[in-house]
């Protein structure tokens, strides 16, 4: 097992979100200068802006990238599992700027007193370009339709298989969270 697979099992991402952990690591660099190291604790302030994301991609293939929080509103009571923070499909050749944004990026915003949340990045290799025309496009100024998402069901619906790469961090409430909530009220 790779380090990422071991960490996904240790943190119960398998089975909470996935049945099989990815074997490759996603490289995630935030504009704040912070990079995501498997399972490291970061703050909502550090991850508030959309990161640069890289993985071992092939120039002629399409990919889907997702960022989900299975711990909404808390790990003890995940009634909104999964809350999706970012979803981009039809990423050609690994360039996320050339993908189809289905849900615009929203940083982490764990409610006060809910402890650490897991923020899980996943990349799926698509069998071909997908028709996402029926998937609602979600802006970054609304939290509507982001809860009770299942990346596994989404992957099944679009025949994406299991994720090829992943990474995650954990975060708890900080002073940035109220600003994020204000943004989500549109």
What local confidence, expressed as pLDDT, does residue 1 receive? 78
Other CB atoms closer than 10 Å to residue 9's CB: what's the count?
14
What local confidence, expressed as pLDDT, does residue 76 receive? 94
Q: Verify cis geometry, omega within 30 degrees of 0, for the bond prior to 182.
A: no
- Residue 139: partners with Cβ closer than 8 Å, 6 or more residues away: 104, 186
Tens digit of each residue's pLDDT (9 = 90 or more) over 88-114: 999 999 999 999 999 999 999 999 999
Say if residue 15's pLDDT is above 90: yes
Q: Where are the domains of the chain?
A: 3-184
The three-point CA angle 116-13-147 to 5° equals 70
Torsions phi, psi of 66, nearest 5? -135, 150
The three-point CA angle 68-96-69 to 5° equals 5
Average pLDDT over residues 24-45: 97
Confidence of residue 122 (pLDDT cuts 50, 70, 90): very high
Say if residue 185's pLDDT is above 90: no
What local confidence, expressed as pLDDT, does residue 123 receive? 98
Q: What is the fold, at CATH topology level, of the domain defined by 3-184?
A: Phosphatidylethanolamine-binding Protein (3.90.280)
Say if residue 48's pLDDT is above 90: yes
CB 184 within 8 A of CB 108: no
CB 19 within 8 A of CB 3: no
């Amino acid at each position: 097992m790779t380090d990422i697979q071991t960490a996904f099992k240790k943190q119960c991402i398998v089975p909470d979100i996935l049945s099989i952990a990815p074997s490759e690591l996603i490289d995630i660099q935030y504009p704040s200068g912070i990079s995501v190291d498997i399972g490291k604790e970061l703050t909502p302030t550090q991850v508030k802006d959309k990161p640069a994301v890289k993985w071992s991609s092939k120039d002629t293939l399409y990919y889907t990238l997702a960022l989900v929080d299975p711990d909404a509103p808390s790990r003890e009571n995940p009634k909104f599992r999964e809350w999706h923070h970012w979803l981009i499909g039809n990423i050609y050749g690994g360039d996320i700027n050339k993908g189809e944004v289905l849900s615009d990026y929203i940083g982490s915003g764990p409610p006060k007193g809910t402890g650490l949340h897991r923020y899980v990045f996943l990349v799926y290799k698509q069998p071909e370009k997908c028709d996402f025309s029926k998937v609602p496009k979600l802006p970054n100024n609304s939290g509507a339709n982001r809860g009770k998402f299942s990346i596994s069901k989404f992957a099944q619906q679009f025949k994406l298989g299991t994720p090829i790469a992943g990474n995650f961090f954990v975060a708890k409430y900080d002073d940035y969270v109220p600003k994020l909530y204000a943004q989500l009220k549109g």
